[in-house]
Amino acid sequence: MKTRRRSQPRIQTTTVGSYPVPEWLLALPSEQALVDATRVVFDIQRQAGIDLPTDGELYRFDANHPDTNGMIEYFTRRLSGIRSNLGRSDHDLFRRRTDMGFRTRPAGCVDGPLGEGSLNLIDDCRRAASVAGGRFKFTLTSPYMLARTLLDGYYSDLSSLTLAIADVLAAQVAGLPCACVQVDEANIPGRPEDAPFAAEGINRILDAVSVEKAVHFCFGNYGGQVIQSGSWKRLIRFLNSLRTDHLVLELAHRPESDLAALRDIRPEIGLGIGVIDVKVNPVESPDDVARRIERAERKLGAGRVRFVHPDCGFWMLKRSIADRKMAALSRGRDLYLGQA
């Protein structure tokens, strides 16, 4: 006898990606401990009422990168063609770049043609699937964001490097055993002039995805600080060029004008609205969340909001705070939809 699948609410809750790494995993790391911790992260999200959880990206965390949690290096250190043993001259060259003030060291130096190296996202996704307990979202960093952190000694320009990374990542996302694949980008909001080739890189990845497609954008979250200046209005053409099913956008920490600008997003692209601020410790109430959803639907029109979520990942918050924020997110959504 088939069991009836519970229908999803018209506005679903999701998380963006990272979760605070449990202290016991840092103290006694092992493959089994990682699997156990990933199971815990999924269970916490489901108990909080998250409809589309993530695996927490625990395996990407690097304690030596307190500002960026090691997300970039997880990818760059595994790709062939990138040298990660860097010396003084590499660091000096990177510091001369005026566009990377928020990062003092390069993630690596590109010395040859890029290849997959030891990157194996399908194994990462299978690990998550084995303990997910249902539908989940799998995330990866965008090629443009990765390219900007590298010293390029091989490709001719940032565009060529971005697209080379995109081709490697596109080969990685085919056949991932998840319900949704999300590409994360936190640099382009501050550099819209690079939008054409940044969009091409993201689209090459999205075209290789056979499940729900999402793209997350924020204005930076390095140690709780906003890095990129700009607005969503400047990025509407770029967002409309993406071959995605829905967007996952930072808005709880943004001005009211950013929300209004999203009315010009193509109607076939679903909107994910950030209603939880991850840059502060105070926990939103369900009423706060419900009011933010109401404001978004009033500005954008009924049916435009498909997801509500935190502005960005939770990795820099204490677990107790992240867990309470997730519970508030779900309860606020339910309150708004009349299910409380």
Position 58 scores a pLDDT of 95
Q: How do residues 270-317 score in pLDDT, each as one tens digit?
A: 999 999 999 899 999 999 999 999 999 999 998 999 999 999 999 989
What residues contact 189, with CB distance under 8 A and at least 6 apart? 217, 218, 219, 220, 228, 230, 232, 235
Position 230 scores a pLDDT of 62
What residues contact 166, with CB distance under 8 A and at least 6 apart? 143, 200, 201, 202, 204, 205
Rg (CA), the chain: 19
Per-residue pLDDT tens digits of the chain, which is 340 residues long = 343 345 789 999 999 999 999 999 999 999 999 999 999 999 999 999 999 999 999 999 887 765 566 788 999 999 999 998 888 887 777 777 656 655 678 889 999 999 999 999 999 999 999 999 999 999 999 999 999 999 999 998 999 999 999 999 999 999 999 999 999 998 888 788 999 999 999 999 999 999 999 999 987 665 555 555 567 788 999 999 999 999 999 999 777 788 989 999 999 999 999 999 998 999 999 999 999 999 999 999 989 999 999 999 999 899 999 999 999 999 999 999 997 5
Please give the sequence-ordered ranges of beta strands (E in DSSP) within the chain, or none if there are none: 12-13, 80-83, 108-115, 137-141, 150-152, 180-185, 212-217, 246-249, 270-276, 305-310
Q: Which residue has the tokens 């808005």?
A: 251
Residue-range domain boundaries for the chain? 12-337
What residues contact 88, with CB distance under 8 A and at least 6 apart? none
Q: How do residues 28-40 score in pLDDT, each as one tens digit?
A: 999 999 999 999 9
pTM of the predicted model as reported, rounded to 2 decimal places: 0.92
Residue 289 DSSP label:
H
Position 95 scores a pLDDT of 77
Position 3 scores a pLDDT of 37
Would you identify the CATH topology of the domain 12-337? Answer: TIM Barrel (3.20.20)
